[in-house]
Amino acid sequence: MAAYKTIAAPAEAEIVEKKSRFIGQIAPVSTEEEALAFIAEVKAAHRMARHNVYAYVLRGGRVRYTDDGEPAKTAGMPTLEAIQHAGLEDVAVVVTRYFGGILLGTGGLVRAYTDATKAAIEAADIVTVSVCVDIVLEVPYGLYEQLCRVAEGCGAKLAESDFAENVLLTFRMLDGTQASFLEKLTELTRGQSEIIVTEPFDAAF
């Protein structure tokens, strides 16, 4: 599976255009159910707002958007395009509009919904999710620093360390790149440590 970009956690940003407030909220979602639950939550929190426009992009090319009462193609589509332009997947965005009494016209609406979505994306922490494996082993304290250096040289990141009688280490790396690291681990530990390699999984890396 190819790596993809998403966000680490929900984020929010607000812009004001001719007295109308546009509040952009973005959240990581992995299913349609999660996207719809997030949208429902935002709508419930802003039920007094004139419009709650949303768009979401899921992996596999599933996309959906709504103008929620705004003129066609002035709200949901610009929101969707801003997500796609940022190259994000598995995210949902809701832009809430509190009407300020001044009409913005179609061009003004497109710009405002685009800018509110971009502001929410900029407020978020963007991460790349790839297929990874964890490599777990227990070693004596004396090998800890040497192991960390070897890991770095092989492109592995230290995910967890537990200092007890020995050190229990969990390294994370991209699946398919682990062969030379495993070889060096076996060499370094002289085959004395049991080395566990997990099944591949999706993780920010």
| Full domain range(s) for residue 168 | 129-204
Residues 167 and 187 in one domain: yes
Q: Rounded to the nearest 5°, which phi and psi values hold at 112?
A: -65, -45
Mean pLDDT confidence for 81-104: 96
pLDDT at 2 over 80: no
pLDDT in tens, 131-155: 999 999 999 998 899 999 999 999 9
Average pLDDT, the chain: 94
Whether 60 and 154 map to the same domain: the answer is no
Distance in Å from the first CA to the final CA of the chain: 14
All residues at 6 or more sequence positions from 96 whose CB lies less than 8 Å from its CB, including other chains: 21, 22, 23, 25, 42, 46, 49, 51, 52, 53
CATH code for the domain of 116? 3.30.230.30
**What CATH number corresponds to the domain at position 153?**
3.30.70.240
Of 73, 101, 124, which closes a domain?
Answer: 124
Same domain, residue pair 63 and 152: no
User: How many domains does the chain contain in total?
Assistant: 2
Span 18-72, pLDDT tens digits: 999 999 999 999 999 999 999 999 999 999 999 999 999 999 889 999 999 999 9
pLDDT at 51 (0 to 100): 96
